[in-house]
Structure 1
Amino acid sequence: MSETRIVVEEFYRRLGSGEVDRLGELFADEIEWDIYGAEEVPWTGRRTRRRQAVEFFTTLPDHLQPEDFTISHLLVDGTEAVALGTMRHIVKATGKAFASPFAFHFTVADGKITRYVTFEDSLALARAFEAV
């Protein structure tokens, strides 16, 4: 099994079991992180440090109540991995549902996540936040 697959599977194992405080161990000190979307959505934007990734995962539950998160495929090619699936959350501030297919792109080097880019329905998310 490839190092990339092991790291990404461990990332999702920790996330799914609520070990958010241990996710930081999987990220490099310096990262490329982009979450595209409306600026009204609290977690969109660029991050470059491990502590920012940890902050994202620790504060996300303040904003969203998860209802479903399903990974249908994990594609790995060398240092690159893409998780494909679907998710559904309730935005706590508005009570509105947000459902979307997703693709999360990871790059892993030396056993650490160095790149994390998300692709989701950012318009539906903005609408759930009543940003548009």
Structure 2
Amino acid sequence: MSNAMTVVKDAYAAFGQGDVHALLALIPADIDWRVVGPASLPYPTTCRTRGEVQRYFADLFSAEEITKFEPREFIDAGEHIVVIGFVAATIKATGKSFESEWVHIFTIKDGLVTRWLEFFDTAARP
């Protein structure tokens, strides 16, 4: 397993344990962190600093209860790792649930996540 893949799997392990601080330790002070989707999402869609990523997670967890999160396929392309997965969540404000497959694209440099992009079916989120 490449060092980049180890970093990505460590990030998912931290997320799965709800350990946002361990996940934040895997990113540099400046980052390119984006959810590709509409600006109407109740959490930031572009983050440039570790503090903004921390706010992203706080806003995400206040808006949604994630009931299933499954990274399913890992594609190793050197410093770029692509992960295909699945999420099920409930929107806290409405109680409505949704499911979506997703794709995460990571860039790892010097053992840190320098870029993270998420694509998911935003139309599935009511």
TM-score range, shorter chain: over 0.9
* Equivalent AA in structure 2 for residue 70 of structure 1: E
Q: Give the percent of matched residue pairs that are identical in Structure 1 and Structure 2.
A: 29
Matched letter for residue 93 of structure 2: A
**CA distance in 1 between partners of 2:40 and 2:95 (Å):** 16
Q: Which residue of 2 aligns with 1:72?
A: 72
- 1:15 maps to 15
- Describe how 1:27-66 pairs up with structure 2 within 5 A: 27-66=27-66
Q: How many residues align?
A: 126
The whole-number CA distance in structure 2 between the counterparts of 1:100 and 1:46 is 20
TM-score by length of 1: 0.89
What is the CA RMSD across the aligned residues, in angstroms?
1.2
Structure 1 unmatched ranges of 5 or more? none
**Structure 2 spans left out of the alignment, 5+ residues:** none
**Following superposition of structure 1 onto structure 2, how do residues 115-130 of structure 1 map, counting pairs within 5 Å?**
115-125=115-125, 128=126
Partner secondary structure for residue 26 of structure 1 = coil
Structure 1 residue identity aligned to 2:2:
S
1:102–1:121 Cα contact (<8 Å) kept = yes
Runs of 4+ displaced beyond 3 Å = none
Alpha-carbon offset, residue 44 of structure 1: 4.1
With the length of structure 2 as denominator, give the TM-score of the two structures.
0.93
Deviation digits for residues 96-117 of structure 1, max 9, x if unmatched? 1121000011000000000000
